[in-house]
Structure 1
Amino acid sequence: MRTAFEIVKAHYDANLRRDMDGMLADIAPDCRWTEMDGFPCVGTYVGPQEIFKNVFLALGQLFDGYTFTLERLLDAGNDVVAIGEYTGTSKQTGKPFKARVVHVWGVAQDKIRRFEQFTDTLRVAESMR
């Protein structure tokens, strides 16, 4: 059985490869994925299909070159904390942004059950105006 750290690391490794199937592979059907208030795709979405549609697809429609760069991954047992940076360019305005971000993951029974994002939503919003 893989550790929570290994499961979350596999998600980020898939992200680097631009492998959407790999990114969604370990997300549980009942996973609660929360994007921060003030972020373009704000809300809590349940399950891989809702997460894909309301987060990954939505961000691809709003931004060119939208990227998360992982700087540190911290092992806290069944919880994992990722620290990094978002970058991208608003398709509507052509303005780029860079924003610090923290992701908090909860893993149980070999699946991702929880995700919560904390980021500088102002930097993202500024690029969209």
Structure 2
Amino acid sequence: MRTAYEIVKGHYDANDRRDMDGMLADIAADCRWTEMDGFPCAGTYVGPQEIFKNVFVALGEQFDGYTFTLERLLDAGDDVIAIGDYTATHKKTGKPFRARVVHVWGVAGDKIRRFEQFTDTLRVSEAMR
């Protein structure tokens, strides 16, 4: 059985390859995925299909080159903490941004069960205005 760290690292490895199927592969059907209040796709979404539509598709519709760059991945047993940066350019304004971000993951039974994002929503909002 893979560790929580290995499962989350696999998600980020798939992200680096731009492999959406790989990114969604270990997300449980009941996973609660929370994007921070003030973020363009703020809310809590349950399951891979809702996450895909309300997060990944939504960000792709609003931004060009949306990227998460992982700086550190911290192993806390069944929880994993990722620290990094978001970068993108807003399609309508043409303004780029860079925002620090922390992702908090919860893994159980070899599946991702929880995700919560903490980011500098001001930087994203400034690019959208």
What is the aligned partner in structure 2 of residue 116 from structure 1? 116
Give secondary structure in 2 for the equivalent of 1:126: helix
**TM-score, normalising length: structure 1:** 1.00
Instruction: Give, in whole Å, the separation in 2 of the partners of 1:50 and 1:89.
Output: 24
Aligned structure 1 segments of 4 or more residues deviating by more than 2 angstroms? none
What is the aligned partner in structure 1 of residue 88 from structure 2? 88
Q: Deviations over 1:107-126 (max 9, x none)?
A: 00000000000000000000
Instruction: Give, in whole Å, the separation in 1 of the partners of 2:70 and 2:20.
Output: 17
Instruction: Give, in whole Å, the separation in 2 of the partners of 1:61 and 1:12.
Output: 21
Give secondary structure in 1 for the equivalent of 2:39: coil
For 1:55-94, what aligned pairs fall within 5 Å after superposition? 55-94=55-94
- Per the TM alignment, residue 86 of structure 1 is displaced from its structure 2 partner at its CA by 0.2
Q: Deviations over 1:33-85 (max 9, x none)?
A: 00000000000000000000000000000000000000000000000000000
What is the aligned partner in structure 2 of residue 126 from structure 1? 126
- Per the TM alignment, residue 92 of structure 1 is displaced from its structure 2 partner at its CA by 0.8
What is the aligned partner in structure 2 of residue 45 from structure 1? 45
Runs of 5+ in structure 2 lacking a partner?
Answer: none
What is the aligned partner in structure 2 of residue 4 from structure 1? 4
- Per the TM alignment, residue 24 of structure 1 is displaced from its structure 2 partner at its CA by 0.1
Instruction: Give, in whole Å, the separation in 2 of the partners of 1:126 and 1:62.
Output: 14
| Aligned-partner residue type, residue 112 of structure 1 | I
- Per the TM alignment, residue 6 of structure 1 is displaced from its structure 2 partner at its CA by 0.1
What is the aligned partner in structure 2 of residue 26 from structure 1? 26
Instruction: Give, in whole Å, the separation in 1 of the partners of 2:10 and 2:103.
Output: 15
| Aligned-partner residue type, residue 14 of structure 1 | A
**TM-score, normalising length: structure 2:** 1.00
Give secondary structure in 1 for the equivalent of 2:93: coil
Instruction: Give, in whole Å, the separation in 2 of the partners of 1:34 and 1:55.
Output: 10
Instruction: Give, in whole Å, the separation in 2 of the partners of 1:10 and 1:115.
Output: 15
